[in-house]
A and B are shown apart, each in its own frame.
Chain A
Amino acid sequence: MLANFKISLFFICNLCLLVLANSSEQFDEELSIKSLQDGKVASKFSFKTLLKGASPKDPRTLGTDDESQHYTLFPLGLGQILREYGVTELHLTLNAGNWNYGRWGYPEEKGVGPGAELWVWMGDGAPNSIDHRWKGLRNALAGLFCASLGSLDEQCTTSPVRSFSPEGVLPDWDLPHQIRHASLPSEHVCTENLTPFLKLLPCKSLSGIASLLNPHRLFDADWHGMGIHVLWRGKEGIEVRLTFQSIMDPSRSSSKQKQDWSLQSLFDRAIDRTCPIAHSSLISVSLPSSGAHSITPEPSRVDSGSAIFDVATVPKPFNAAMNWPSDFEYQYDTSLTPLKIQRTLKGSSQARGQLSLVIANHGQVSQQVVYLETMPWLVQFYLHTLKTSVNGAESDAVISNITYIPAIPHSRPTTFEAVLLLPARSTTRLTMDVTKAFLRYTEHPPDAQRGWDLPPAVFTPIHGGQSQNATAGLPSERIYTPALLVDLATPDFSMPYNVIIFSCSLMAFLFGSIFNLLTRRFVVVHVGSGKQE
């Protein structure tokens, strides 16, 4: 009996050893820092966990209970959710601010739309419908990340296939895969979202690069955004990539305009320990192509214009720093991206407005982009007023193969997807009249009437063979416009009783006097003294 127990104990220990020994999971962390042309510093944390040889859950097996999963590095909470709802590919981003493409170029992680954005690819064929799983998924994620993703309901859910093609590989079960996309521009991102984010990391924020994630500095940045990306790399396995990007302004603190930075100045921390289980842990600083500058300490190696430090080997505590001898001079002549997009909602009336889009293509070549507009039903398009012009001249050739799904009040948003052809060195203008809905007083939020945030429009440049890129996992750019604010006419919230009383008594009065005339009989009476004079 006792021997029996001993034996089993022995086997269990062996099993554990085995699990630890065979490294079926791999964790890589990287921090890349780059000085931008407007003196700001862009930094990007990336924590990548690869679950080797694994494959997404087949939706057909969702009904049956799952075989047990053993994760050592892979975030368990996330893994359970993924398998629970049979998610093939998932992208969740929580950003604050507008990414300035003109000055900062394309971001390394392209999901930079303001607020919260969630889009997933799921295989159909499960016992319960995709929308049902989507509902469960967003609620589970809301719980996991303390974000109000639960309000990404069907009133803002769309399926834009062309703009959000999968970045990983879709398994070739003979099943149709579907996309669900929703964004919540009014979501405010802060520490309560960062803490659960850090919990997903194997070393938390105790050691390694993750120890630089200091909320006090991160959330004082000009722009910051965290992202969770799950995708299947085919044979390699399932990859979970947690990213945190930020744009910081070193010149803001100092009165003199210098763009010097150090890990200490940016994050108010230095790295004292490496994360022991990290397969690789690198800090890469991209060096400016020109101008005198100094970087300390001496990097481990330099390749392709960026200095690379291996955190495992550098002396601790480690604090990289970069200095320029001269003061910083602003120059904005060059826009880093060929496209400059301006999207505004014109008109100050609460009844109608005009959606205006101005796209300047500075590039030397004409450019094709997919233009995606997802609009809550609060704002309804007048598609027949859509006008396009290039350099001031009317032209309908600009816009082609439109897919339009009109909104349904109280349930479905508008989806407007079209391909725009932007000639080289041209300015294209789109205008479309819109009407603003009038809501019942119970549909208005109880808090301050700031207005309603409209999600950003998304532009996806089409290059030759973009599809191969997608399958190869090389993401093509995606451009998010800023969000819009629309203010709808509000009824008087203190009035329901008065309105009911007024309207009803007026109708009752008219009804009464009309029936009075219709039913009572006319009689002639003798009043003696003649008419009143």
Chain B
Amino acid sequence: MEAEEANQGPRWKQSISRLRQKFKGGANANVARLRRRKAMISSLTRRLPFFKFALFVVGYIWMLAIPSPRLGRGTYIDENALQPSQVNTYWNWGDVHAADRYLEQLEALRDVNSTSEQRAHFLETEFKKLGLPASTQNYNFSSSAGLITGTNAYALLGSPRGAGTEAMVISASWLSRTGEGDGTLNLRGISTVLALAGFLKRYSLWAKDIVFVISDGYLDGMHAWLSEYHGSTHKNLQSDPVELTSGVIWTALNIDYPGHSFSHLGVFFEGLNGRLPNQDLLNSFQRISRNTGHVPVTVYDHIDPREAPQKVEGLVSNLPKILQDNPEIQAFSYQAKNVARHIGYQARGRASGVHGLFHEYRIDAITIFAIPATGPHGFHAIGRIVESTLRTMNNLLERLHASFFFFILTDHDRFMKIGNYLPSAVLISIAMMIQGLQTWVRAGWKGEDETKLNEKQDGSSGVTPTQQPKRRPVGRALAIMTVAHLVGLVVFTALTQRLFIENIQLLAPIMFILLATIPFIMANTIGDTGPLSLVLKSFNLCLASTVISIITVLNFSLASSLAVFLGIPLSITSSSSSILTRVIKTALYSMLGFGWLLLGHREILSAVHDWEVLQVWFAPFVCLVYVPLALQALTVCVL
């Protein structure tokens, strides 16, 4: 204590002496307080590992339980103005006949395999015959995969006595979404739209303008049209301006009717970058289809096996019979299928249909997909359903806004609120954060004491922390992370090169090997390790946890996949002495981090295409966030 006072300022000496003589009580109180605090901290630190473990377990179990029928709840309409299926529909067999006429002409066009321009011109003239102002739009994209060109046709039905400030869109793309636009034509969808144009024009009850868009290609046509409509420019897109504009678009319906007739209507809703439409739109369509059109609705094109018991597929098929018949299991397997499909779309930021392009312009849109079957439904049913849905959209007084954008649709009439699924990923990220902080403390302790000792010698002069051997090597850890992210940037720029795209088979493995070797290079250049690997590990964990917990709000599927891929692996990284374990770890972590370079060539191509044409940030995210995290984990192991 004397030594203490020696090198203290006079004020402190006085203070302490005063403290000494004046009240011992105060000192005791302080001591007691400190003791309490210490006891608390130590007990907390003792419980932490268990707590962390519990968080991990609960989080993962929660994720597995998401498809369970017990967790979700029935869908309902939140926006009172919608009033779904409360109207008499007027669509009748005459209009069905008109649709058939259009279909014949379209099939004739298809048989002479006409060009985009010819098709667009035909559609334009058909619209004009109906007395609607119509026009066409040429566009072309240039991506590293090549050039995409096409022509859209669109028409505008101004609402009588309407100020033309709001609009609804009915669209159909030339290519159906079956097989992500593999060439199946959406002729019936288009003829439905044409017939609807003639039909809707006869009524004066529209409060909003109605825009009919027949987009060329699969996604590209609508992307060009929307970009021009909203005046957003893309450097690789040249397209004519949209001549006929209406007001603000709130909602849009995309009709996809590839087959001859249909048994169910499937609803697709995932948009670009994991954006979802307002759930009210889905729910009201679902009700209308059930009550007005008497057509059953399914999520995606998954027909519920429970409707047709004879053919059992998916999870259930390889279970014992007794379990197969358990309704709970059946429901779970069916909903698990839906959730898996959902995550597949959302995590990759993929749009599950043409509707997905509307979302980035704050337009709520869904695709109505007529699942091909041999009957019983056709133009009559879909016409009535679309008419009634449009009437519902027409009722809207304001943009769909209730916090109905975050949900997982486990079944056509069941969904999970954000509160029921978000915590799963957040719990895991919390566990990772705890682990990271723990590692940080562990990295500090041994270092700190020596630090203080040799600080005692040289006093607190302006020496930087990085110069001191035994303190936490924060600087070097940050340097490693910076390098890792720069590497990620390089990888991304490489991926978007035409050269790479063309001979990906050869270059991807090379890149894989390079990535796998980088950590060794860093480790060798750094040399002396000490607590460095611990510090790096803790930083890595904290960064990963931060990323996961923040992405959950934007794109839950992506966040949960990250939590699955990174949660445990990053937590168990550790530098090991024996060569064998090092090699194994290296192999495992590099497969985890960059395995997609070896296995997922098609994925890479489509992701790059999505990035270049549709600005889907899945590819940059993987390169700039995921790869660096994996690199750092690998570095921790080899240090």
Q: With A252-B202, A484-B165 in contact, is A527–B232 under 8 Å at CB?
A: no
- Would A532 and B42 count as touching, CB distance under 8 A? yes
Q: With A348-B362, A532-B41 in contact, is A448–B397 under 8 Å at CB?
A: yes
- Would A97 and B397 count as touching, CB distance under 8 A? no
**A96 interfacial contact with B, CB 8 Å:** yes
Which of B125-133, B298-306, B527-535 faces chain A?
B125-133
Max chain A C-beta neighbours (<10 A), residue from B15, B232, B245: B245
Docked complex: B282-325 residues within 8 A CB-CB of A: none
Find A354's partner among B27, B30, B231, B399 (CB 8 Å cutoff). Answer: B231
**A347 interfacial contact with B, CB 8 Å:** yes
Max chain A C-beta neighbours (<10 A), residue from B30, B31, B163, B231: B163
- Taken together as a complex, chains A and B put the C-alpha atoms of A249 and B131 apart, in Å, by 12
Residue of B nearest to A185 (CB): B163
| Shortest Cβ distance from residue A480 to the other chain B in the assembled complex, whole angstroms | 11
| Shortest Cβ distance from residue A115 to the other chain B in the assembled complex, whole angstroms | 7
- Taken together as a complex, chains A and B put the C-alpha atoms of A255 and B90 apart, in Å, by 13
**B19 interfacial contact with A, CB 8 Å:** yes
- Would B161 and A450 count as touching, CB distance under 8 A? no
**Interface of chain A: mostly helix, strand, loop or mixed:** loop
- Would B31 and A525 count as touching, CB distance under 8 A? yes
Q: With A38-B131, A342-B245, A525-B27 in contact, is A114–B163 under 8 Å at CB?
A: yes
Residues of B within 8 A of A115 (CB): 163
**A487 interfacial contact with B, CB 8 Å:** yes
**B164 interfacial contact with A, CB 8 Å:** yes
**B38 interfacial contact with A, CB 8 Å:** yes
- Taken together as a complex, chains A and B put the C-alpha atoms of A497 and B15 apart, in Å, by 45
- Taken together as a complex, chains A and B put the C-alpha atoms of A360 and B161 apart, in Å, by 25
How many A-B residue pairs have C-beta atoms within 8 angstroms? Tell me.
Answer: 121
Find A348's partner among B34, B94, B164, B230 (CB 8 Å cutoff). Answer: B230
Type the 1/0 row for B352-377, where 1 means its CB is closer than 8 Å to any CB of A: 00000000111100000000000000
- Would B81 and A482 count as touching, CB distance under 8 A? no
| Shortest Cβ distance from residue A103 to the other chain B in the assembled complex, whole angstroms | 8
**A449 interfacial contact with B, CB 8 Å:** yes
- Would B248 and A485 count as touching, CB distance under 8 A? yes
**B569 interfacial contact with A, CB 8 Å:** no
Find B248's partner among A98, A332, A487, A521 (CB 8 Å cutoff). Answer: A487
- Would A525 and B34 count as touching, CB distance under 8 A? yes
- Would A223 and B38 count as touching, CB distance under 8 A? no
Type the 1/0 row for B24-43, where 1 means its CB is closer than 8 Å to any CB of A: 00110011001100100110
Type the 1/0 row for A354-373, where 1 means its CB is closer than 8 Å to any CB of B: 10101000000000000000
Type the 1/0 row for A314-357, where 1 means its CB is closer than 8 Å to any CB of B: 00000000000000001010000000001010111000001010
- Taken together as a complex, chains A and B put the C-alpha atoms of A449 and B250 apart, in Å, by 13
| Shortest Cβ distance from residue B102 to the other chain A in the assembled complex, whole angstroms | 17
**B460 interfacial contact with A, CB 8 Å:** no
- Would A526 and B202 count as touching, CB distance under 8 A? no
| Shortest Cβ distance from residue A52 to the other chain B in the assembled complex, whole angstroms | 38
- Would B161 and A485 count as touching, CB distance under 8 A? no
**A511 interfacial contact with B, CB 8 Å:** no
- Taken together as a complex, chains A and B put the C-alpha atoms of A483 and B4 apart, in Å, by 79
Residues of A within 8 A of B130 (CB): 330
| Shortest Cβ distance from residue A427 to the other chain B in the assembled complex, whole angstroms | 9
Type the 1/0 row for A28-72, where 1 means its CB is closer than 8 Å to any CB of B: 000000000011000000000000000000000000000000000
- Would B161 and A348 count as touching, CB distance under 8 A? no
Residue of A nearest to B247 (CB): A485
Q: List 28 A-B contacts (CB under 8 A).
A: A38-B131, A97-B161, A97-B163, A98-B163, A115-B163, A186-B163, A220-B160, A222-B161, A252-B202, A252-B204, A257-B131, A330-B128, A330-B129, A348-B363, A354-B231, A448-B81, A450-B398, A482-B164, A482-B165, A483-B163, A483-B164, A484-B247, A487-B248, A487-B399, A524-B1, A524-B12, A526-B1, A532-B41
**17 further A-B pairs in the complex, CB-CB below 8 A; given A185-B163, A223-B161:** A38-B131, A98-B163, A222-B204, A249-B160, A252-B203, A330-B130, A330-B131, A347-B230, A347-B232, A356-B231, A482-B163, A482-B165, A483-B165, A485-B166, A485-B248, A522-B12, A524-B12
Q: A-B pairs with the 8 shortest C-beta distances? A: A346-B231, A485-B165, A448-B397, A448-B398, A348-B361, A96-B161, A222-B160, A97-B161
